[in-house]
Structure 1
Amino acid sequence: MPHAAPPTLTTRPALLILGILCIAMALRAPFTGVPPLMGLIRGELGLSSAAAGMLITLPLLAFAVVSLFAAGLARRFGLERTLFAAMLLVAAGIGVRTMGGVGGLYAGTAIIGAGIALGNVLLPSLLKRDFPQRLAGLTSAYVLTMGLAAGLASAIAIPLANLPMGGWRFSTLCMLALPLISLLLWLPQLAGHTRPVAATAHAPHGAHLWRSPLAWQVTMYLGINSFVFYVAVSWLPAILHDAGFTAERAGSLHGFLQLASAAPALFLAPVLRRLKDQRAAAFCAAGASCVAFAGLIAAPAWGAVWIALLGLGTGAGIILGLAFVGLRASHAQQAAALSGMAQCVGYLFAATGPALVGGVHDKFGGWGFALGVCAALCAVMAVAGLYAGRAIQIGRAGASTAAPAPLAHPPRARQS
């Protein structure tokens, strides 16, 4: 099937960039705007903590499964049209989630997750194809825009719900504006029918990777980081509310977590380029998250401090984990296979977190034990980082002095 050449950037580059940034906002806000409303949703629909945790688990399962098929869909239908379909799914999911009962809530959440998964995989491919000389700057802008949108969605969720015509349904329905604006801005791109870059295709093969200790160390680092981040995204408003914070303050701090997690994208890559290996950075990122969870147990009144630390730790953790995929692989095909292994296994593990922690809360009647488990996992992650951060590559594990490839641009921070 013939494919049109990529559009030239001399024609409407500003419109294309604006469309990309709007899609980036739509990939995070519909997901992160829900946790501050969890108390209202549970009260109206009678959900247990474990059942409410499924509202975060379902998108993570979609990330793990749908991301494996995203590149194939883009090769068949074109990158532009597949991204348009991703926004349609997000918009449709918001509608179904808002209008239905419990079944609609879960079905809509799963549909949103499928749309976000497509965008997560394909949007960076579009950046690499159309802006190869501006990739670093636009990647940082893309990550920062996602963080800003996520933070704003969390901060305004409760105020919107408290309006006279409000409620959690109205608050979540307001998120529909983002995919709808993205669809309008993306219409001019539908004339194109181009394939994603080859690196987008996460190779599910490479059986020898599953027997590589180094591959599992990278996978463990990414998986635990995703686990604790999505536990925080799911339950932080409830944890803070139970510690004495108002619902509005808890929602604002939940938004602050999203902003803090985006901040490392602005400074971490230049730092990594100056390091001989990444062991110290990986250990410190995991250690920051560990201290943050311990702080939430011991001194929850200092919540803003612990949340800033947790955002910086988990934000740096995802950047480091994705950097390890390229640095620890010996060649491009192996990097694609390692990416598929680490992200699929990592998201499947992370998907157990929100429901599991919600169930632990119901069993013990508090958050202390669950937060302690997260702190212990971060300690395990720190040890895994000491191994994954070594300057060696898979298949060359004995060559401990092998120089890693330089970080030409910040790795994509993919947490939605």
Structure 2
Amino acid sequence: MTPTPRITRFTAVWTFIGLVLLTLNLRAAITGVPPLLGEIQDKFGLTGVEVSVLTTLPELCLGIFSALAPVLARRIGTEAAITVALVVITVGLLLRAVPAQVALFTGTALAGAGMATGNVLVPAVIKRVFAHRVGTLTGLSMMLLSVGGAAGAGLAVPLDHMGGWRLALALWAVPSVIAALVWGPLALRGRKRQPERPAAPASVSTSPAQAQAPADTRAEAHAAKGSLLRSPLAWSVMVFMGMTSLMFYTLTAWLPEMMHDHGFAPATAGMMNSVIIIIGIPLGFLVPVVAARLRDQRPLVLGVVALMAIGLGGLLLAPGAGWVWVAIFGVATGSAFPIALTLLNLRSPDAAITARLSGMAQSGGYLLAASGPLTFGVLHSATGGWEVSIWLLLLLVVPELVCGLLAARPGFVRLSSKGPGGRVEHLTEPAEVPTRSAEADRSR
């Protein structure tokens, strides 16, 4: 692992440890709740609507607070923002264990807000500290996200049997505290140094005074004032990430019930979700490594979207072959989101813009994804069957494919701002400019 210039090897290693601990804490708070929903509903006397709100709340928070993460990082520093996020996750997890409805929902919202901030800033840290290992570190992060999610789901019931639902919910505050203690020193160090970001692109005009200022400061200023909303590439990345997340959350929310209705035992149907997550663990590591070595990621996008369409078609035509479609869904969802996360780095020229693109893509993407399980369930209730709901997912494969192919083309997003007279000025390279990942260059 070779640190980028101006970053010591000790700092790189410490940051690597922090990334490992951070990513392990970004899913367990979500996946640990569904296995305990029955008991939580009984303890708190929740209605069906309140249960739906509780299960949707984390995704809504991921969408809402992801947009605020880059702003927080610019104000207090990336490391400090991550430390704050981990503290918020810890408080939220502990609050959820308080036997009161308001504490349960407030704690869930706080945990979701902290996870949203961590999600957004992981790619930015990788871009800045490990620029020559984007694929490897993104893959490791994805794998650890899956491991944390699987651990949260798999240990929920054993922990409940050991010490009750409160222990099962609150115990995950321990690893988040440890992670916060690791990121704390990095936050203090970050306040003592200037931002470590590359120089502004040559296309940006600078005055003599600006030329004498640190290049890092100019790049950060441009990232702060520019907008990604005029970049078609940024919108394509956002929609692709949103569609991949929508497919995953919708399938994991409803697949057990679908399979049970088609004759599978409840335990077997429930196990299918675990299999999908387990299949995604090695793919979460391998796919970003492969994607970062390719100049053009469109073949990968085409492959995973085709697998999703095959799996959904199989559910319609031969639902009895459930395990076949589960295996296909595992490969499709286990590959699609890692590709989307890797594109955040590959489509950004520097860490500051990576944070901006990550915030936009994850905010809009998770808000889009949050609508999936609810709409799928409403259609099922209205029609009394699963066919219309599955056809909806098949229809959504089309924008996933189109936006995925656009997002996977070589190039950088365009960060633009209105200049004098309302003229739009591009502060970064246009999307049409070819680019090659640093990791691909090193492999040659």
* TM exceeding 0.5: yes
For 2:125, the equivalent position in structure 1 comes to 126
Is 1:253 the counterpart of 2:272 in the alignment? yes
- 1:30: which partner in 2? 29
RMSD over aligned Cα, in angstroms?
4.0
Residue 305 of structure 1 deviates from its aligned partner by: 3.4
- Superposition deviation, residue 116 in structure 1: 0.4
Residue type at the aligned position of 1:407? S
Deviations 1:156-212 (A, max 9, x none): 323433x2643x444323333321332344454453234766599687724533xx4
What is the alpha-carbon distance in structure 1 between the residues aligned to residue 238 and residue 82 of structure 2? Answer: 27
Equivalence for 2:328: 309
Corresponding residue for residue 406 of structure 1? 436
**AA matched with 1:76:** R
Query: 1:147 Cα shift?
Result: 1.2
Partner residue in 1 for 2:69: 70
Structure 1 residue aligned with 2:115: 116
SS of residue matched to 1:223: helix
Unaligned runs of 5+ in 2: 198-218, 415-430
Contact 1:206 1:334 in 2 (8 A): no
State whether residues 140 and 284 of structure 2, in contact with CA within 8 Å, keep that contact through their aligned partners in structure 1: no
Q: How does 1:99-114 map to 2 (within 5 A)?
A: 99-114=98-113
- 1:281 to 2:300 alignment: yes
CA separation in 1, counterparts of 2:9 and 2:99?
A: 43
What's the offset of the Cα at 1:143? 1.9
Identity of aligned residues (%): 33
Contact 2:139–2:287 (CA under 8 A) maintained in structure 1: no
2: distance between equivalents of 1:18 and 1:284? 33
Counterpart residue number, 1:92: 91
Conserved? CA contact 1:96–1:104, under 8 Å? yes
In the alignment, does 2:147 pair up with 1:148?
A: yes
Q: How does 1:194-209 map to 2 (within 5 A)?
A: 194=191, 205-209=227-231
Q: Scaled by the length of structure 1, what TM-score is found?
A: 0.77
The answer to whether 1:345 aligns with 2:344 is no
User: What is the 5 A alignment of 1:216-227?
Assistant: 216-227=235-246
TM-superposed CA distance for 1:266, in Å, is 3.2
SS of equivalent residue, structure 2 residue 9: coil
Q: Would you say how many aligned residue pairs link Structure 1 and Structure 2? A: 396
Deviation readout 1:229-261 (Å, 9 max, x if unpaired): 222343444445555556655554323323333
Question: 1:120 offset after TM fit, Å?
Answer: 1.3
Deviation at 1:364, TM superposition (A): 4.0
Report what 1:398 is aligned to.
Answer: none
CA contact (8 A) 1:93 1:112 kept: yes
Q: Cα offset for 1:126? A: 3.2
1:204-231 Cα offsets, whole Å, 9 max, x none, are: 724533xx4x554444322221211222
TM-score where L is the length of structure 2: 0.73
- Shift in CA distance, 362/258, structure 1 to aligned 2, threshold 3 Å: same
Paired residues of 2:410 and 2:436 also in contact (CA < 8 A): no
How far 1:115 moved relative to its partner? 0.4
Q: Which moved more, 1:221-230 or 1:75-84?
A: 75-84
> How many angstroms does 1:26 deviate by?
0.6
Q: Counterparts of 1:112-191 in structure 2 under 5 Å?
A: 112-161=111-160, 163=161, 165-166=163-164, 168-191=165-188
Contact 2:295–2:436 (CA under 8 A) maintained in structure 1: no
Deviations along 1:67-87, one digit per CA (max 9) or x if unpaired, are 222233233333333222211
Structure with bigger gyration radius:
2
Tell me if structure 1 keeps the 8 A contact 2:132–2:439: no
